[in-house]
Structure formats: structure tokens, C-alpha cells
A and B are shown apart, each in its own frame.
Chain A
Amino acid sequence: MTAAIVLDAVSRAFGTVVALDRVSLEIAAGEFFALLGPSGSGKTTCLRIVAGFDEPDSGRVLLDGVDVTHAPPFRRDVNTVFQDYALFPHMTVADNVAYGLKVRGVAAAERSRRAREMLDLVRLGEHGVRRPHQLSGGQRQRVALARALINRPKVLLLDEPLGALDLKLREEMQAELKGLQQQLGITFVFVTHDQGEALSMADRVAVFSQGRIEQLDTPRALYNRPRTAFVASFVGSANVVNAEVARELTGRPQAFAIRPELIELAPVDTAVDDGAVRCTGTVLDVLYHGASSRCRVRLGNGTTLAVARPEHVAARQDLAAGAPVLLAWRPEHAVPLQD
């Protein structure tokens, strides 16, 4: 089967700043795909090149096997949900949604019937006669979604789709987007800087850093088996231990990552299982989050490690800043990192 989207060694520079450096990736049809990275990592440029708002300096873009590298946006079977929604302020919500049909010459009756269908799909059936400025942020987001989906594109691109929403709405929309994608079977590609969003919604995630893909994997693999220090700290904020410190702790000069929740804390003189890696340190501070507590512990060599403890453990053994403490973890939980 042909991939829905293929990027083949795509590069793009703005002046001297390299936004994309020979990026290659394949996205399968029907996949929910996330481009994750901090700002300036190249993820948005990547999306804009797929949509056709920007052209690569070199490399090719294939949609459904067809080379569209130099095709303008209106010739691509791809639609976009913009970060600021980009709803037309001079049109009603229904006209906004029907716009893609109107410019393709679909008759007015058919247009309004299908616009109504799309609005029902995003649960805004009664809001067709309103103007965009009369809607809330979440409603506008859903209008933008309906508008982008009305042409039944093969691929839907979403640029930071939930960035402008508040936390509660964002969580609702995550579930809604995921459900919609499964219902429609359309390939969704979304850009985000929020690792939680990427992990919870996507089938696969490409982590961008400095114009390159650091790692492309399923959310679970990304979380449990980060390959580089960047991925380990960006996705789920693991502790990254460099080779030098690693030699002091384990005897092997191999940098590794260890998740905060996989480190156990105990009083200094506790005996721990054979084979566990152990060291001592001093508690720097403790942040209580309810379900878990997060503390930072400074080791003798100056390295700081974050440790997360579930409430049922933290409640039994309350720690205060300045307390000496023993840290221990299973060696198989430490993920070796490339340099």
C-alpha cells in the first residue's frame, strides 16, 4: 500500500537558519501522526511544506504516491486546521464550513446540506447562522475542524490544534479528535509542543530537534526506550545521566536515562536488593501534586536527579528538604542513550 505522505530528504532554510535538514518520513494512510518538538525545531515548517504553504529548498513531497513538491495548496488533497483557526469573519459559521464546497462549484442546496452534516458531526448543528466571533474558543476550534473536513481530504493537518484552549477543554478535545479520526479513517497529522498531547493521541510520534527527526516511534516506545538525551528529557522529562557520572554510579561509561518514577527512595542505611544501582544524596526540594510527589535529590558528585513517588509511598515516608536519602533503581530500567 502507498503511504499517505512521504517526505524524501526535505530541506528548508530561512536565511542562515536551517529549519529542516534532510528530513525523511513516511506516514501510512489512516494513521494519527504527531510532529512533536520545541518551538523552532522545524515541526511547523514540516507541516507547512506538506500543506503547500512553503516549498522545500531540496527534497520531494509525495501525497498518495504523487509528487506535489511544487503544487500550490489548492491542488492538494490535504486540508489544514490552523492554530488561530483562521475562520472567515465576514461569513456565518455555516458559510465558513461550506466554503470548500463553494469554491469547487457545488450547488447551494447540496452545500448547505453537507455543511449541516459536518456541523452535526462536531456537535454545532444549531450554530450555523452565527458569526465566528460569537462562538467560544472550543466551538471555533470545532468549526475549523468541520470546515477542513468537508472536502473529505485524504489527510488532515492540524497546527497546534489545542494550543489556544484551556486545560479542561484541551483534554476533552483530545478524546474528541481521537474519536473523530477513528470514525472517519482519515490520516491526521498534527503539530504540537506538548508531549502529553502527542503521547495520548498519536499512533506514532516524530520528535523534532534542530530541523531533524531525533526519533520516530510509537508513544510507548518513545517513552520507555528514548534513544537520545534530547528525547529522554523532552518526552516525560527523564533524568539524563552523562557518561562520566554513569561510570561513577554503575562502573560503565555509558550515558543513560532513568524515569523519575523508577527511582526508589529509602532511608540511608536501608539494605536494597542485590543488583540494584544505589547511591546517596540530599533532598533539595519536594513538590506535592496530590497523586504523586516530585522531589529533586542532589548526589554527592553534584548531579541532581528528579524522583517521582506515588502518593501511597510518599504518604508513608514524608521527606523534607535537606534530608539524607538513599536512591536505588533496577539496572534494566536505565535506558542507554546514544552520544
Chain B
Amino acid sequence: MRDRAYSMQGRSVFYFTLLLAPPLLWLGIVYLGSLFTLLLQSFYAIDEFTARVVPKVTLATYEVLLTRPAHVDIILRTVAMAVAVTIASAFIAFPVALYMARYAGPRLKALFYVGVMLPMWTSYLVKVYAWRLMLAKQGIASWGFDQLGLTGTLDRMLAVPVVGGPSLASSYLGMFAVFVYMWLPFMILPLAAALERVPASLLQASADLGATPNQTFRHVVLPLALPGLAAGSIFTFSLTLGDYIIPSVVGAPGYFIGMMVYQQQGTAGNLPLAAAFSVVPIVLIGLYLALAKRLGAFDAL
């Protein structure tokens, strides 16, 4: 039956349109429109001599992006970091989210939510610079390792080629730690939300049918948490792919996609290449979503 309250005519259509216009304009023009312009830019190329953008559709910029070894390195480095950060975040976030959602009492749960979100109330830049200080050679991190008698372990970690370096603050290891710290709430919150939605009776039914707690976790809890895990990993993955501040403040000097976008559209003035670089995360996330859907991550939704 059609609900009278939702059927509209005359005046109310006018008001409804008025109400809906700003968000639609925002989404349609400001948001999707600028994204489309960006995509279009990536199909233009820059004239090497005049340094002007030639508004003619060409794949030349993508050729530059994908054939120069330096550019390919940047893409691979960024993707490797994003994958590592996502996996680490998932492993750290899962027990926290599980505890928040299923075991903590109402007060403790509220405390956990505040604790997870509190760091996000601080300026992002302040946190990144604070981490650089903490990870520096004489910083609190190396002092902590020393107090635990683990200086040898730290030195061995830093001696590992590629990920190591002179100090945590100037190694990919340190950058990885900062990324994980920064994006962890974005993994914990959707996971906790997904776990909270799992009805207690499903877990009881599993135990009732003879499943040990381990089996219940594997066959019921984990599959039902997959949509949350997928949502969280999209956050951590795409945030790492696009970030340019953390790699420029903490870690080894190698370039990341975000830094390249920042530099190409700014100092280098090569807007098409900047656009092409920013298309990479979009494509990767698209592929990731398709894969997640294929693996059934959203079946429980």
C-alpha cells in the first residue's frame, strides 16, 4: 500500500526539490564534477617546451607514468606500504573491536569508543611531527627499547635492507608505524560496528551445534565481520595510497604517490601527470572492491 505521507503533489514537490537541490548540486557538480575534470586532465599531456597543458585527448601521460622506472617504483612502493599498513591495522584492530563490541560493559565500551576517537580530535600535523620526535635517534622510542633491553633487536630491525635505516624516524619501518597509528581508528570503528551487529543467538547456536569457541570464530564471527573488515581496509588502504604528509615528514626519502601528485601539480606544474598519478589509487580501490565482492565479503550484508 502506498503511504499517503510520502505521496506528494504541487507545493510539496517544490519544497522537496528545494531541500534536495543543495546536496545534489554539491555531489553532482562540486564533487563528481571535479573528479571528472581530474580524470579528463590525465588524458591530456604537457608540451615539453612551453610547459603548457595541451587539451587534446592522448595516452601520452599514462605512457610516461607507466614506462619510467622511477614512476613505477613510486607506485609499487606506495602500494606495498598500503598493503602492509592495511594488514597490520586489521590484525591490531580485530581484537580491540571484538572486545569493544562483544565483551566490554556499557561504560567500558563508551570509554573505548572515546579512546579510539580521541586522537582524531588532534591536528593531524601535530601528531605526525610528534611521531618524528618520538622515533628520532635519541627519542622516546629508542629509549623505550633500551629500557626493555631490546636495543639489539631495534638495531637488527634497522639493519634490514630497504625497510631499515639510520633511525626509526628515517626508515620505512618508522613510516609504517606512523601510518598504522594514524589509520587504526578507521579500521577499528567499522569492524566494531560489524561485530556489534552479529546477534548473540548466532554464536550460541554455533556453540549449541558443537562448535568450539575457535570454530565459532572461524565459521561465524569472522565471515560476518568481513563487511566491516572490507570497509576498514578500504579506508586504511586508500588513506595510505593518497597521503603525502607522513612520507614527507617521517621515513626514508623515497617518493610516494601523494607526494608525487603534490609536487607535479605544484612546483613541477605538470597537472596531467599529477592527475594520472591520482587515478592510480582510484583504479586500485576499484579492483580491490571487485575482488572483495567476488570473495563474498559483502554476502552477509
Contacts and interface: CB of A to CB of B under 8 A. Distances in A.
**Would you call the interface of chain B mostly helix, strand, loop, or mixed?**
helix
B140 interface: no
Nearest to B211: A103
B205 A80 contact: yes
Interface stretch (B44-52, B217-225, B249-257, B281-289): B217-225
Given A89-B300, A99-B219, A79 B212 contact: no
Interface in B206-239: 206-212, 215, 219-220, 223-224
A249 B117 CA distance: 73
Interface residues of B, number: 20
A7 B206 CA distance: 24
B22 interface: no
Contact of A86 (B204, B210, B211, B219): B204
A103 B208 contact: no
A135 B199 CA distance: 19
A100 B207 contact: no
A99 B209 CA distance: 7
Contacts of B199: 84, 86
Contacts of B300: 89-90
Contact of A151 (B210, B212, B299): B210
B208 A99 contact: no
A73 B216 CA distance: 12
Given A84-B201, A102-B219, A74 B224 contact: no
13 contacts: A52-B208, A72-B207, A80-B208, A82-B204, A86-B202, A87-B205, A89-B224, A99-B209, A103-B206, A103-B209, A103-B215, A103-B219, A151-B209
Interface of A: 51-53, 72-74, 78-80, 82-84, 86-90, 99-100, 102-104, 147-148, 151
Interface of B: 199, 201-202, 204-212, 215, 219-220, 223-224, 296, 299-300
Given A52-B208, A73-B207, A90-B300, 9 more contacts: A73-B204, A74-B209, A79-B208, A86-B205, A90-B223, A99-B219, A103-B219, A148-B208, A151-B210
